[in-house]
Structure 1
Amino acid sequence: MRIVVQRASQGRVLVDGNVTGEIGRGLVLLVGVTHGDTEQDADYLAEKVVGLRIFEDAERKMNLSLLDVGGAILSVSQFTLYGDCRKGRRPNFMEAARPEHANRLYEYFNEKIRSLGVRVETGVFGAMMEVELVNDGPVTLLLDSRKDF
């Protein structure tokens, strides 16, 4: 699994002009799934995301986690994180998981985060979405359950 983590002061997702998920302070996650990903990958990344110390403390140092600041998560499925652009100009998405597998693992990932005490808002899996956020910092991190980067 791959995740783009963006610290945000606010974020929301719209589908056909309707808000499907909205947060204030927290994290906006773009979540991609590949073929061999399992619940272990989702568990690892859920715990990693919730525990990341990327919010500022009183001394303006990144020492606080999402739980420490009472933040929420806006989770958006994003198969294009597995787009391969090395050849030609058109991305190849063969490494992205089939929708049935990806959706099941994406939903499992979101439930795992909820079980850790964090409110999770989402987009709509497979839909054309408009994602709006105010990236706070900006702080943007890349996570991969296989630790490829």
Structure 2
Amino acid sequence: MRAVLQRVSEAQVKVDGALIGQCGPGLLLLVCAMQGDTEAQVEKLAQKVAKCRIFQDENGKMNQSVVDIGGSALVVSQFTLAADTRSGNRPGFSAAAAPEDGKRLYELFAHKLAAFVPVQTGEFGADMKVALINDGPVTIWMEV
């Protein structure tokens, strides 16, 4: 699994103009299941994200997790994180999990993360419009 974590003041996702998910202070997570990913990797990524200390403590140091601050998360599927750009000008996405596996693992990730913080999601496979107010900005790339 691959994920991009963005520390946000707020974020939202719309499909066909309708708001389907949002979060306040916390994380916008763009996630991609890769070929061969397992449920154990999903569990590991959810725990890593929940424990990642990228929020400021009382001394201004990045020393708190989204759990510590009482934050929430917006989880959005993004198969383009599987992009292979090593050759040519058009990225290849063959390393991404097949759609049925990708959807299952994406939904499992959101479910596992919801054990730690409130979670809302985008719509797998939809053309989504994502808006955010980056806090910092702080953007972290993870892979397990």
TM-score by length of 2: 0.98
Gaps of 5+ in 2: none
Task: Measure how far apart 1:114 and its partner are.
Answer: 1.1
Task: Measure how far apart 1:5 and its partner are.
Answer: 0.4
1:81-117 Cα offsets, whole Å, 9 max, x none, are 001111111111100111100000111111111123x
Q: Confirm whether residue 143 of structure 1 aligns to residue 142 of structure 2.
A: yes
Task: Measure how far apart 1:3 and its partner are.
Answer: 0.2
- Determine the structure 2 residue equivalent to 1:3: 3
1:43-64 Cα offsets, whole Å, 9 max, x none, are 1100000001111011100111
* 1-structure distance, mates of 2:131, 2:40: 30
1:21-50 Cα offsets, whole Å, 9 max, x none, are 011100000001111000111011000000
- Determine the structure 1 residue equivalent to 2:57: 57
- The Cα RMSD (Å) is 0.6
Gaps of 5+ in 1: none
Task: Measure how far apart 1:120 and its partner are.
Answer: 0.5
* 1-structure distance, mates of 2:100, 2:44: 21
**Mapping for residues 81-96 of structure 1, pairs under 5 Å:** 81-96=81-96
Aligned identity (percent) is 52
* SS of residue paired to 2:44: helix
Q: Confirm whether residue 20 of structure 1 aligns to residue 20 of structure 2.
A: yes
TM-score by length of 1: 0.95
Q: Confirm whether residue 48 of structure 1 aligns to residue 48 of structure 2.
A: yes
Aligned length: 144
